[in-house]
Each structure stands twice: as structure tokens, then as C-alpha cells.
């Protein structure tokens, strides 16, 4: 029985105009006991070096895991003033980012707002969510509009003022 011999042909790559050497082999096929020679030969008489391409999967990247972590917002959803939806799912946004109850004591509420701001900044860093403060402020405004007509103090809520004061001080202190 003859040994297969390796032949080559030069193919033009349609994607980048590079010439690629494609290997061909002379092989023997068996057809129910009889040997039928099948030959694939090159049309080119010149020999070119073979271009070997291999695909390897990309190395595991932490960006995939961090993106999934970022979209689930675990630190944000654990904040005491964030109200999650009933039967919350990992990729759902919270129902509201500002759901607070006043204690009725101005100074305690103001300090509570400052504490909430510090917790928000920590959650923003943990979840890598640069828009968290914006979402909270939007919901503070929405809450102020909804409570303006009620007996609540609306825009001048001590909790909201404490939150905004702490955020302003952190921004002013940033280099």
C-alpha cells in the first residue's frame, strides 16, 4: 500500500488578500473490500510554506463576571432606603431608589440623610455603578414632587437635605 503524500495549493483569502497555503493529501479510500485511489492535487507547481492557524478560547476575563455583578446591583439593593420590587429578580432595577420615612426629628433625619449618602457612595464603588447617585437624586426629586401637596415638608425634607449636603461635601473634598 502506498503512503499518503502531502501536497499544497495556494488559495487567495477573500477577507484580507493574503495567500494561504492549504494542505491536500493523496489518500486511499476503501469501497467494500476494494481500494479506490482518491487524489486531491494542487494546481500550482510552486510550493509555499504552510500557514497554520489555531483557535484558542480567550482567557477567562474578570470583566464578564464584573459586568454581571454590576448589573445585579447587590450593594445597591441592600441599601436601607432602596425599595426593591416584589419577587425581585437579579437583573431587575429597584422600584425606587429613595423610599424613606421621617422620624419627625429634624436633626436625627438630617444625620440619617448623611449616613445614607455615605452608604450610597460605598455601594456605588462596590457595584461600580457611576450613575447610582444620579438615580437617587432623581427619586428624591420625584418624591418631593409627590409629597409637596401633602402635609409633608416635601422639598425641604431633612433626610434629603442631609443626603445632598453629604454628597456636596464629598464632591468638594475630592481632588
Element containing residue 29 per DSSP (H, E): strand 19-31
In this structure, the strands spanning 19-31 and 34-39 are: antiparallel
Q: Is the Cβ–Cβ distance between 170 and 117 less than 8 Å?
A: yes
The answer, yes or no, to whether residue 27 has pLDDT greater than 60, is no
Nine-digit cell at 58?
480567550
Q: Which of 129, 145, 135 is nearest to 70 (CA)?
A: 129
Q: Which of 14, 13, 129, 12 is nearest to 73 (CA)?
A: 129
Three-class secondary structure of residue 151 per DSSP: coil
Q: Which of 52, 42, 40 is nearest to 10 (CA)?
A: 42
Band of pLDDT at residue 54, cut at 50, 70 and 90: low
The answer, yes or no, to whether residue 73 has pLDDT greater than 80, is no
The pTM (predicted TM-score) of the whole model is 0.58
Range name among 33-47, 69-83, 131-145 with the lowest pLDDT average: 33-47
Three-class secondary structure of residue 23 per DSSP: strand
Amino acid at each position: 500500500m502506498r503512503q499518503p503524500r502531502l501536497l499544497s495549493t495556494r488559495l487567495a483569502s477573500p477577507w484580507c488578500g493574503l495567500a494561504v497555503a492549504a494542505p491536500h493529501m493523496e489518500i486511499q479510500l476503501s469501497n467494500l473490500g476494494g481500494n479506490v485511489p482518491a487524489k486531491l492535487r494542487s494546481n500550482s507547481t510552486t510550493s509555499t510554506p504552510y500557514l497554520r492557524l489555531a483557535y484558542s478560547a480567550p482567557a477567562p476575563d474578570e470583566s464578564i463576571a464584573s459586568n454581571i455583578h454590576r448589573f445585579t446591583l447587590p450593594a445597591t439593593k441592600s441599601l436601607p432606603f432602596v425599595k426593591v420590587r416584589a419577587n425581585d429578580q437579579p437583573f431587575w432595577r429597584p422600584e425606587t431608589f429613595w423610599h424613606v420615612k421621617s422620624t419627625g426629628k429634624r436633626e436625627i433625619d438630617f444625620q440619617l440623610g448623611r449616613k445614607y449618602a455615605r452608604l450610597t457612595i460605598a455601594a456605588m464603588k462596590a457595584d461600580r455603578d457611576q450613575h447610582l447617585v444620579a438615580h437617587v437624586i432623581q427619586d428624591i426629586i420625584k418624591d418631593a414632587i409627590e409629597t409637596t401637596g401633602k402635609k409633608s415638608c416635601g422639598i425641604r425634607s431633612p433626610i434629603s437635605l442631609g443626603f445632598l449636603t453629604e454628597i456636596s461635601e464629598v464632591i468638594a473634598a475630592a481632588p
